[in-house]
Chain A
Amino acid sequence: MFSFPRRARKLPLNLCLANFPFPARWPAFPFRHKGLYDESHALAIAILKKEVRIPDGDNTRPDPDTLLAVLRRDELPSHARSQVFSGMGPGVAKTYTMLRVVSPIHEFFLAGVSIALVTGASWLLAPFTGYQAIALLYLLLVVAVGLKLSRGPVLTVAASSAILWNFLFVPPRFTFYIHNFHDAVMFVTFFVVAIAMGHLTSRLRLSEVAERRRERRTAALYELAHQAAFATDLDTGLRAAVSLITSIFGAQAALLLRQKDHTLSNVTHPASSLTLSEKEKSVAAWAFGRRMPAGKFTDTLPDSEALHLPLQARITVMGVLAIRPSAGKSFDLTERELLEAFAVLIGLILEKEHIIEAFKHAEILEASERLHRALFDSVSHELKTPLSAVQTGLDALARQVGGEEKKRVTLREIQSAVLRLRRVIDNLLNMTRIETGVVEPKLDWCDVGELIRAAIELAGDALHEHHIIIEGDEALPMVKLDQPLLEQCLSNLLINAANWSNPETKITVRADVDGNELLLTVLDEGKGLNESDLAHIFEKFYRASDARPGGTGLGLSIVEGFVRAHGGFVHAANRKTGGAEFALTIPVETIRAETMEGLS
């Protein structure tokens, strides 16, 4: 149940009327209405003869649902027709919630007729029963009217009964003068009783109506929950929801769902019983984007054929429900509420489905990652263990051999072969990691100079015959990246450069930070790349036409894979001055040491 804190603010009605921001399209209002306007909430409510209490100290903008709940609590007359419309004020998004109360003219008419009938009958009966019994007849009328009509007409009937009884029946007749004290008491009592009864019966009726309305709402929601939420699959559930809307509201409905990329689908869900034109779809897109109702009966694009309600779930909007009422029909307060409740429920059902699916997907992914990890671990164990036995054995042998030149040469050959095998295995394992998509960069702050030096160290003996020059690393900010990963990339590029250029030439590593991008370029003075190779050199196992024997064709593809996993890209080109250049562009966060707090 909706409950309020005791302290609530009631705005004076005249002030409200004065402040009421009339929307551009004001519905045809045949009657005087009083309004409530809460400026801080930029939200307005206009209802007839009702004040709305907005909780004090609540500075968030209440949503239309909350306001409707407030209004419901205030027990609106059952014939109140609601028109809730959301719209845009000049420049500012505003939601106006307005309730239009339809004239009870026909009720007053009915009241008049019934009074006339009872008065006529009393006129005939009075000579036989005496004037006092007539009062009871009138009371009966008040009760009867109270059970049927709303409060205004009932109170009118009560008051006019008292007056008519006095004027027409109480002696002296045809005057308002009451001769005897006994009759005067009776008249006052009658008046009070009639008013009280009228009031009580109309209240009784109202609560009964409210009860029935609640029941209808509960039943409909239960039906939807039962049919849709517990359906074996989503499509059946949505079909049930649409057919329920059709049967309850006599309206056609269409569903546009959110797609995987979090945009609204352009194709209606197959469960829909309504086809949407492009124009309607754009209204739906608006409702989806703004998370507000749009289209017919709202202030946004009211010319549309259908009412578009966003399917608001707990976190996101899961789609849009478009409802086209049959011609000439509009939705009353209850129906509108119910439709919105439907939209929420459908949204929740979709969200539930979405979460289940995401969960399943994550489980599968986790299982495959675990499997991959186990496989990868065991393969690398099986490859590396014998290799490390060979390596250790060689080391031991090298010590035992001592100065025997021939044996030492042989050992050195074996050692370099082992080293090569080690590189191949490392490359293959790295390639496997890239291919299976398990490379996840772990970002941490890093000094670019340190990164470059570590990469050079990693490349080790392969660079000993070249002069390595580092440029531009001095004044750079710190960058956030996965250092081991990029070290490996840079080191591969350096080894590649060394392999393709003559000893004693220069290899330059140039670093630069441009905005949020780190640029690392490796330049060599070799013979450069063949044009025909340029397009393929990052492909796995691709070997340039004039490659030296011994490579695996994996070094550059690993660079490409690691850099891509890091969100960057690598580019190869020939230098104008001869030689090749490889440039890594990596998106990074940067921070300057001098802007860091707590540095002394």
Chain B
Amino acid sequence: MSEKPTSLVIDDEIQIRRLLRIVLEEEGYRVLESETGRQGLSDVALRRPDVVLLDLGLPDMDGLVVLQRLREWSHVPVLILSVRDGPEDKVTALDAGADDYVTKPFDSTELLARLRAIQRRVPFGTEDPYFQAGHLAIDFNTRTVTVDGCEVKLTATEYALLKALAQHAGKVVTHKQLLREVWGPNAENQSQYLRVYVTHLRKKIEIPSAPEKLLKTESGIGYRLILPAQK
């Protein structure tokens, strides 16, 4: 991508918008600003940003509603930026179609890493059959998983789980999404299976001595497969 990616900040606080502009421009984004939900929606439609940073507490309408309206016609990556830090708030937003969630006050480096992760839009398997994250490598063609070059035997379910996480690498995937993708739509409440398999998977793909864990628990929300660039 030679052209600068465009980001749209939908937030009613002018201070936050100004500071985000500084951070984002420094990172090479073109920055658009919207003050209200309504304006944000029309800006997404007219100016086609590559990524949206959405605040939930907007003066004219709730950010969640903006997200729902947006998801009716657009697949643009959306990062929620909010002071609401309850797990329920996050799960609701993620299940409504948000790509990731960062709570205010936030760390700029982390914010940028999340932004990069949600922009990896290419659907997995169609483009690149290989996946690499730190010491972990997956070949989707042969369904082989290697850790530090050694092949690891995974059961079918473990592989499906790892694949689901890798396809959303860097992003948080909610329990519900994982259960649906790996066990099917009827298993959304069977979280005990997920816990067991994540524990199994961890033992197989993580190196105990490694300083950074590969599979991060987002408590009460889901899991995130950490990409090496990410902190």
Which residues of A approach B to under 8 Å, CB–CB? 377, 380-381, 384-393, 395-396, 399, 418, 422, 442, 444-447, 449-450, 453-454, 457-458, 478, 482-484, 487, 591, 593, 596, 598-600
The residue that B26 contacts in the complex, of A399, A458, A598, with Cβ under 8 A, is A399
Contact A381 B87 (CB under 8 A): no
The residue that A384 contacts in the complex, of B23, B83, B156, B217, with Cβ under 8 A, is B83
Contact A391 B195 (CB under 8 A): no
For residue B15, which residue of chain A has the nearest CB? Answer: A389
Contacts of B20 in A (CB 8 A): 392
Closest 8 CB pairs of A and B: A388-B105, A395-B108, A388-B104, A484-B220, A445-B192, A391-B105, A392-B19, A384-B83
Q: A389-B13, A390-B105, A447-B195 are in contact. List 6 more A-B contacts (CB 8 A).
A: A396-B22, A396-B26, A399-B26, A444-B175, A447-B198, A596-B192
For residue B26, which residue of chain A has the nearest CB? Answer: A399
Using known A-B contacts A388-B105, A399-B26, A450-B199, determine if residue A444 contacts B19 with beta carbons closer than 8 Å.
Answer: no
Contacts of A487 in B (CB 8 A): 219
The residue that A596 contacts in the complex, of B23, B193, B216, with Cβ under 8 A, is B193
Question: Does more than half of chain A's interface fall in helix, strand or loop, or is it mixed?
Answer: helix
User: Would you call B49 an interface residue if the criterion is a C-beta within 8 Å of the partner chain's C-beta atoms?
Assistant: no
For residue A386, which residue of chain B has the nearest CB? Answer: B15
In Å, the complex CA distance between A596 and B199 comes to: 15
Contacts of A478 in B (CB 8 A): 192, 195-196
Contacts of A593 in B (CB 8 A): 196, 199
Contact B105 A422 (CB under 8 A): yes
User: Would you call B155 an interface residue if the criterion is a C-beta within 8 Å of the partner chain's C-beta atoms?
Assistant: yes
Contact B84 A387 (CB under 8 A): no
In Å, the complex CA distance between A389 and B19 comes to: 7
In Å, the complex CA distance between A384 and B81 comes to: 12
- What are 23 inter-chain pairs, A to B, with CB distance below 8 A? A381-B57, A384-B105, A385-B13, A386-B15, A388-B106, A391-B105, A391-B106, A392-B20, A392-B106, A445-B195, A447-B195, A447-B198, A450-B198, A450-B199, A453-B217, A454-B217, A454-B219, A458-B219, A483-B219, A483-B220, A487-B219, A596-B196, A599-B196
The residue that A389 contacts in the complex, of B16, B88, B220, with Cβ under 8 A, is B16
Contacts of B83 in A (CB 8 A): 380-381, 384-385, 388
Contacts of B23 in A (CB 8 A): 392, 395-396
Within the complex, what minimum Cβ distance (angstroms) separates B195 from chain A?
Answer: 5
Contact B191 A391 (CB under 8 A): no
Contact A591 B87 (CB under 8 A): no
User: Would you call B230 an interface residue if the criterion is a C-beta within 8 Å of the partner chain's C-beta atoms?
Assistant: no
In Å, the complex CA distance between A386 and B88 comes to: 24
Contact B193 A598 (CB under 8 A): yes
Contacts of B15 in A (CB 8 A): 385-386, 389
In Å, the complex CA distance between A366 and B36 comes to: 29
Contact B193 A442 (CB under 8 A): no
Contacts of B16 in A (CB 8 A): 385, 388-389, 392
User: Would you call B107 an interface residue if the criterion is a C-beta within 8 Å of the partner chain's C-beta atoms?
Assistant: yes
User: Would you call B109 an interface residue if the criterion is a C-beta within 8 Å of the partner chain's C-beta atoms?
Assistant: yes
For residue B109, which residue of chain A has the nearest CB? Answer: A395
In Å, the complex CA distance between A484 and B221 comes to: 9
User: Would you call B157 an interface residue if the criterion is a C-beta within 8 Å of the partner chain's C-beta atoms?
Assistant: yes
The residue that B195 contacts in the complex, of A384, A395, A450, A453, with Cβ under 8 A, is A450
Contacts of B26 in A (CB 8 A): 396, 399
In Å, the complex CA distance between A450 and B201 comes to: 12
